[in-house]
Amino acid sequence: MQKVIAYCGIICNECPAYIATQKNDENEKKRLAQLWSSKEVPLIPEDIECDGCLLEGKRLTKFCYVCVIRKCAIEKEVENCAYCEEYICDKLYKHIEKLNVPEAKETLDEIKRNIST
């Protein structure tokens, strides 16, 4: 299966929300909603629907609708952040740190190396 890489470098088809949506696993979506909920952002299973943030008009998690990285990449019309002239910006760095997904930066670094050669 080809990797689906989000704007921020997360590999969508390895993300629990994406997997649960593709498998139509309501129990897993419920578990993830509970796990990822906070006082600031309460989640319900319907908030975990995800076909990948690259797609317009498809199912997106609640986070995608407010994601500054997604919004920025769409505005700049880049495939993902590795294609941006400002890579790696503070906004992306903070996003990766907050989500604790260092592998996303590794993915983007690899893409950047490949497009730079």
Quick check: helix, strand or coil at residue 11?
strand
CB 108 within 8 A of CB 80: yes
Bridge partners, residue 90, by sequence = none
Domain boundaries, the chain: 12-116
Tens of each residue's pLDDT in the chain, 117 residues: 688 899 999 999 899 999 999 999 999 999 999 999 989 889 999 999 999 888 776 788 888 888 999 999 999 999 999 999 999 999 999 999 988 999 999 999 999 999 876
Q: What confidence score (pLDDT) does residue 104 get?
A: 95
Collapsing DSSP states into helix, strand and coil, what is residue 5? strand
